[in-house]
Amino acid sequence: MKLLLEYLKPYRWYIALTLTIKTLGTLVELVIPYILSHILDSVVPTGQVRNIVWWGVAMLVCAALACVGNVVANRMAARVARQSTQQIRHALFERVMTLSPRQLDSFTIPSLESRLTSDTYHVHHVVGMSMRMGVRAPMLLLGGIIITATLDPVLTLVMVLVLPMISVSVLFISKKGIPLFQTTQRSVDSMIRVVREDAQGIRVIKALSKTDYERRKYDRANRRLVEDETRASTTMAASNPLVTFFLNFGLVTVMLVGAVRVNGALTQPGKIIAFIQYFTLISNAMIGLARIFVNYSKGAASAQRIEEVVRTEPDLIVADESRYPSMRKEEGIVFEDVSFSYMGKKDNLSHVSFSLPTGGTLGLIGATGSGKTTLIRLLMRSYDVGSGSVRIEGRDVRTIPHEELNGMFGVVMQNDFIFADTIAENIRFGRELSDEEIRHAARLAQASEFIEQYEDGYEHLLQSKGTNISGGQKQRILIARALAGNPRILLLDDASSALDYRTDAALRRSIRENMRNVTTVVVAQRVSSVMNSDLILVLDEGRIIGAGTHEELLATCEVYREISDSQIGGAILE
306 and 374 share one domain: no
User: Domain boundary at 277, 310, 343, which?
Assistant: 310
Which H or E run contains 492? strand 489-493
Q: Distance (Å, rounded) from C-alpha 219 to C-alpha 334?
A: 50
Q: Determine, yes or no, domain membership for 356.
A: yes
Q: DSSP letter string over 285-344? A: HHHHHHHHHHHHHHHHHHHHHHHHHHTPPPSSPPPPTTTS---TT--SEEEEEEEE-SSS
Tens-digit pLDDT profile for residues 539-563: 998 899 999 999 999 999 988 888 8
The CATH number that applies at residue 102 is 1.20.1560.10
| Per-residue CA distances from 304 to 73, 119, 296 (Å) | 28, 9, 12
Q: Determine, yes or no, domain membership for 126.
A: yes
| Chain centroid, CA 529 distance in Å | 39
361 and 283 share one domain: no
Shortest CA distance to 492 belongs to which of 478, 503, 512? 478
Beta bridge partners of 411: 491
274 and 402 share one domain: no
pLDDT at 170: 67
Q: Determine, yes or no, domain membership for 280.
A: yes
pLDDT at 174: 65
101 and 227 share one domain: yes
Q: Are 228 and 189 in contact (CB under 8 A)?
A: no
Q: Are 347 and 339 in contact (CB under 8 A)?
A: yes
Beta bridge partners of 536: 363, 548
Q: Determine, yes or no, domain membership for 317.
A: no
| Per-residue CA distances from 180 to 122, 130, 176, 185 (Å) | 15, 21, 7, 9
Q: DSSP letter string over 130-195? A: HHHHHHHHHHHHHHHHHHHHHH-HHHHHHHHTTHHHHHHHHHHHHHHHHHHHHHHHHHHHHHHHHH
214 and 78 share one domain: yes
Q: Determine, yes or no, domain membership for 319.
A: no
Sheet holding 535-540, edge to edge: 409-412, 489-493, 519-523, 361-366, 535-540, 543-548
242 and 361 share one domain: no
360 and 287 share one domain: no
Shortest CA distance to 532 belongs to which of 558, 514, 505? 505
Q: Are 407 and 381 in contact (CB under 8 A)?
A: no
DSSP state at residue 45: G
Beta bridge partners of 422: 461
- Beta-strand pair 409-412/361-366: unpaired
Tens-digit pLDDT profile for residues 134-165: 778 888 878 877 877 777 787 777 777 777 77
Shortest CA distance to 35 belongs to which of 53, 68, 51, 58? 58
Q: Are 306 and 119 in contact (CB under 8 A)?
A: yes
Q: Are 310 and 92 in contact (CB under 8 A)?
A: yes
516 and 457 share one domain: yes
User: Domain boundary at 244, 279, 310, which?
Assistant: 310
The CATH number that applies at residue 481 is 3.40.50.300
pLDDT at 572: 45
- Give counts: helices (H), strands (E), the chain: 22, 10
Q: Which residues, 6 or more positions from 506, have their beta carbon under 8 angstroms from its beta carbon?
A: 446
341 and 272 share one domain: no
User: What value, to the nearest 5°, has the Cα angle with vertex 234 and ends 231 and 236?
Assistant: 105
What is the Cα Rg of the chain in Å? 35
292 and 340 share one domain: no
Q: Using CA atoms in the order 140, 142, 144, 148, what is the torsion angle rounded to 10 degrees?
A: 180
527 and 387 share one domain: yes
Q: Determine, yes or no, domain membership for 316.
A: no
Shortest CA distance to 302 belongs to which of 185, 189, 192? 185
Q: DSSP letter string over 536-564? A: EEEEETTEEEEEE-HHHHHHH-HHHHHHH
- Domain region containing 401: 333-568
For 382-407, b/e burial (b = at least 16 CB within 10 A) is: ebbbbebbbbbbebbbbbbeeeebee
Q: Are 399 and 322 in contact (CB under 8 A)?
A: no
Number of domains making up the chain = 2
69 and 184 share one domain: yes
Q: Distance (Å, rounded) from C-alpha 132 to C-alpha 81?
A: 10
Residues of the chain with pLDDT under 70: 1, 166, 170-171, 174-175, 177-178, 200-204, 206-208, 236-240, 568-574
Q: Which residues, 6 or more positions from 260, have their beta carbon under 8 angstroms from its beta carbon?
A: none
3-state helix, strand, coil in the chain (%, to 5): 65, 10, 25
Q: Distance (Å, rounded) from C-alpha 185 to C-alpha 390?
A: 40
Which H or E run contains 523? strand 519-523
